[in-house]
Structure formats: C-alpha cells, structure tokens
Amino acid sequence: ASKFKQLSPAEFFYNNRSMAGFDNASRAAYTVVRELIENSLDACDVYGIPPVLYISIKTLLGDDMEILVADNGIGVPRRHMADAFGRVFFGSKYYVKQNRGTFGLGGKMAILYGQLTTGEPVDVRTSVGKDIAHMLLNIDVSENEPVIVRREDERNPGSFHGTSIRLRFKGDMVSARSRILKYLRMSRIALPYSTIVYSDPEGFFFFAPALTEQQPKPPKEAPPHPYGVDIVKIKEMIESSKRGTPLNKFLMKFSRVGVDTSQKFAEYLGLDPSLQVKRLGEPEIKRIAEGFRSYRFLPPDGSSLSPLGPETIRTGLQAEYSPEYIVVETRPPSAYEGFAFVIEAAIAYGGSIPPATGQDEARLLRFANKIPLIYDSSNDVAMKVILEDVDWRNYSLDPKNDPLIFLTHVVASKVPFKTAGKEYVADREEVRREIRLAFRECARQLKVYLSRKTYQLHEHQR
C-alpha cells in the first residue's frame, strides 16, 4: 500500500537543496554569500537608500566558517522578523516590482544550510529605526516554522536602520572564493552607487561610489500588463475585485488600459463593458485570456523598472576591459505572463580584450535584476541567443575567436529563473526574442564601426 504524506515547503527544499544552489560544498558556500548579499542590497536600493554593505567571512575551529553581512537597509519589522528568516515562502517581494529576491526562500536556505552543517542557530539583528530586534533562531523543517532560541531587544540611540546577520556553516570557501570575487567584480558594473567592503580569510575586496555617482530611481510597483495573463490569474484578480465591479473597470486594473482601451477591448471580445466580472462564466473568461494574447495593447510602461542604463554599462565595461569600442542597446519594454521586462545588451570589442581562444562558447557577462549570474552559462537563454539565433558571419564577427565580450541584463518585475538557485534565465520565448533583437542591433552597430575603421585604414595607406 502506498504511504501518502504532505511535505512542508522547508522539507521540500531541505530534501532537494541542489535545486536552490547547494549542490556541493563549494557551490553551497557561494550561494550562502550571494543570498545574504542580495537580501541586503534589496533592503537598500529598492527603497532609494544608497547601499553600504559589510561582509566578513572568518574561519573558526574545525572547518566551520562564520559569515557576517551587515547593511544600512530598511530593516525588518519585529512582528515579521522570525517568519522572514524562518519560514519558507514568506517574504516581502511577491508584488509586481523589480527586486533581486523573488521566491521567499534564499535567506532561509542559507540559514538551513548553516543549521544542517553545524547545528548552530542564525544570529540576526534588525531595526527599522526604533529598537533593535535581536534573535537567535533555527528552522523547524517539518513544520516550516522558525524556532526562536533567544530574543532580546536592544537600545538604538542613533535610530540606526538596517540588518546584520551572522551565520555559521561548513563550506568549501577555498574553491568558492574565486567565484565570490567574480560576483563582486561584476557587481561593480551593476552597483556604481554602492559601497561594499568584503573580507575573507585570504584578504580584502572593496569598492565605493564615485563622488559624482547618482543613485538610480528605485523601481515602482506596477499593475500587470495584459499580455500573457492567463485564466488562473484572471480568476484570482476577479476573486479579489469588489462585488459589482463592471468589466471595463476590471480591465483598467491592467497596465496601460485606460477608459478608451477597456471599451474597445470589450467590444473586440464581443462583451458588454458593464457586465459584472464576478458574474462572467467560463467561456467569457477564456475569451478574455485569448484576447489578452491577440489584441494589440500599448506596450508596457518601463517606468516601474530600474535598468542599469547605457552610461553605467559603458563605464563598467571600460573600467574592467579597456575595450577599443563598446555598443550598448536597450530594448523597449516588453511583457510575458503580464510581467514587464526590458533587455539591455552590450558588446565590447578590442583594446585590452584578448582574442577568444576558440574553445570558449562566448565570453558573456550575465545580469538579471542586477544580480551577476556566474554558473551554468551554457544553459542561459542569452547564451542560446548568441550561439544559435544570431548569424555572426553576417556582421563579420566570430564570438569564439574575436576579441569580444558580451553582456546581457534582464530587467523584470519577475525574472524567469530556471532554478531556485538563480543560476540562469529560462528559455522563455518573449525574453529570447528581445535578447536576439538587442544583439542583432549591437552586432549591426559594431559592424558599421569596424568597416568604417577598415576603410579609414585603407584611406590612410594610400
């Protein structure tokens, strides 16, 4: 007879921690560091606070490490603190807004990994500006709840706001270190406005903003765009609408659907705009979902998103590679499943960039919502575009042999990550198409530059 059971979310990811980036001791160490840094960055720049982060990793006796990550972010309200750090699928980033975090999982996985390798509880201090809440906690895996081992409040005379988290874990820092440093170097491109101090048993890494650096506008919460919104989501939105809401009012909950558009769209569907949405039947709801795919709505409004911008990308690539030439392309906003997204792409050529050795796939720097992606590049949708979708010979370019560095940044109110460890972006049609168009435009501009340069060289030689 089969034994049926209900698993808790914590138990699922405890059982399947490879999915969340804890495949082995080296990748686990990297993921612990990444998840804590991204939580701190979200607590800052998503709220318009210039980030200041301190990260220190020490070796303790035996092979335990201790990581401390401290930030000047908005902090966690005391009533949510234990759940924020101790309950899987609990978080503040489930709204339609650009964040690094998206799953309500990462911080908990780091804490759980520390707990399963050392038995030690995590030590968290956080404040929104009032008293500092200080807790030691563990995660009860089968119940998916925090277990508060100790709690105390501390005075906060300076009204400091921010969070500091201290975690013990066992991991292979020696082999993770080069990737952590690569993550930090790539972060210099993505975060010219932040201060990050990192120290580990082998040394230091530090960067701080230029005095002229402008804090980018924080992302805003955005209503879903109609394109790609499916039947399940439509029904959920109908469920949460007030009783008596007419169809035209309901349609105006979507991004870029105003009075006119909602009227026209209702006519397009052959539905009366004054129909109460809570009274719509299955066939009408289906018709709306199909209309959401076929009707030409105004494109999404990119103002809710916070891209890097061409200036930042150029500055970063220049500093890192001293190329001879850089092309940057920012696509207009697009959408999938109702989520707005923007693709930024760049190609850097020549200068101090060495020729590719012919065996690399292509040298590609990948970012998603400002997170540097380092693992599993061959599966990333951007690499598939470079290797399969663009015929580089049309532009006299060879990604595997020329001195080229490629860069992509997927900016979205929800990035379609393929793994819970955020290793790479899934092969989503709408995203792949936008990356393809961006790289073709970059390639075209680079070809123009190179042929002009060749022409000038010939002119010069006469």
Ligand X SMILES: Nc1ncnc2c1ncn2[C@@H]1O[C@H](COP(=O)(O)OP(=O)(O)OP(=O)(O)O)[C@@H](O)[C@H]1O
Residues from 1 through 40 that contact ligand X (CB under 6 A) = 2, 35, 39-40
Nearer to ligand X, 94 or 205 (CB): 94
Which residues in 266-285 contact its own copies (CB under 8 A)?
Answer: 282, 285
State yes or no: residue 393 binds its own copies (CB under 8 A): no
Which among 171, 30, 20, 168 has a CA at the least distance from the CA of 88?
20
* Residue number with CB closer to its own copies (74 or 189): 74
Residue 107 as a binder of ligand X (CB under 6 A): the answer is yes
- The mark string for 166-205 relative to ligand X (x by CB under 6 A, - otherwise) is ----------------------------------------
CA angle 8, 380, 294 (to 5 degrees): 85
Say whether residue 210 binds its own copies (CB under 8 A).
no
- The footprint of ligand X on residues 110-169 (CB under 6 A) is 163
Interaction partner, residue 418 (ligand X, its own copies, Mg ion, none; CB < 5-8 Å by kind) = its own copies
Distance between CA atoms of 404 and 402, rounded to whole angstroms? 6
Angle at 32 between CA 26 and CA 35, to 5 degrees: 135
8 Å CB contact between 171 and 25 = yes
In sequence order, the 6+-apart residues with CB closer than 8 A to the CB of 59 are: 65, 173, 201
Of the candidate spans 100-108, 143-151, 213-221, 402-410, the one that interacts with Mg ion by CB under 5 A turns out to be 100-108
Beta-sheet strand order (sheet of 203-207): 145-154, 132-140, 122-127, 162-170, 64-71, 52-59, 195-200, 203-207
Q: Where are the beta strands (DSSP E) in 300-398?
A: 325-330, 334-336, 339-349, 364-368, 371-373
CA within 13 Å, CB half, 348: 26
- Structure-block tokens of residue 445: 């501009």
CA distances 243 to 160, 224, 229, 273, 364, Å, are 44, 21, 22, 15, 51
Q: Taking CB under 6 A as the rule, does residue 108 contact ligand X?
A: yes
The reply to whether 73 sits near Mg ion by the rule CB under 5 A is: no
Binding-residue pattern over the window 140 to 169 for its own copies, x denoting contact by CB under 8 A: -xx---------------------------
Lay out the site mask for its own copies across 92-121 (x = CB under 8 A, - = otherwise): x-xx------xxx-------x--xxxxx--
# of chain residues touching ligand X (CB under 6 A): 22
Nearest approach, Cβ of residue 42 and Mg ion (Å): 7
Give helix 25-45 / helix 173-190 axis angle, nearest 10°: 30
Among 91, 223, 226, 273, binds ligand X (CB under 6 A): 91
Q: Binding of Mg ion at residue 39 (CB under 5 A)?
A: yes
260 near its own copies (CB under 8 A): no
Residue 75 and residue 127 in contact, taking contact as beta carbons nearer than 8 Å: yes
Check residue 225 for interaction with its own copies (CB under 8 A): no
At 252, list the tokens. 């105006």
Q: Which of 38, 41, 52, 90 binds its own copies (CB under 8 A)?
A: 90
Residues in the chain, overall count? 462
**Residue 40 touches which of Mg ion, ligand X, its own copies, none (Cβ within 5-8 Å per kind):** ligand X
Tell which one of 103, 265, 367, 406 touches ligand X (CB under 6 A): 103
164: contact with Mg ion by CB under 5 A: no
Among 75, 106, 291, 421, binds Mg ion (CB under 5 A): 106
Q: Which of 213, 389, 398, 427 binds its own copies (CB under 8 A)?
A: 427
Tokens of 233: 């989501």
Report long-range pairs for 374-377 (Cβ below 8 Å, ≥24 apart).
Answer: 374/30, 374/179, 374/182, 374/183, 374/186, 375/27, 375/179, 375/421, 375/423, 375/424, 376/419, 376/423, 376/424, 377/424
Which distant-in-sequence residues (6+ apart) come within 8 Å of 70 by Cβ?
40, 53, 54, 162, 163, 164, 165
Minimum Å gap between C-beta 402 and ligand X is 36
Name the residues that contact ligand X, by CB under 6 A: 2, 35, 39-40, 43, 71, 73, 75-76, 84, 91-93, 101-108, 163
Contact positions toward Mg ion, by CB under 5 A?
A: 39, 101, 106-107
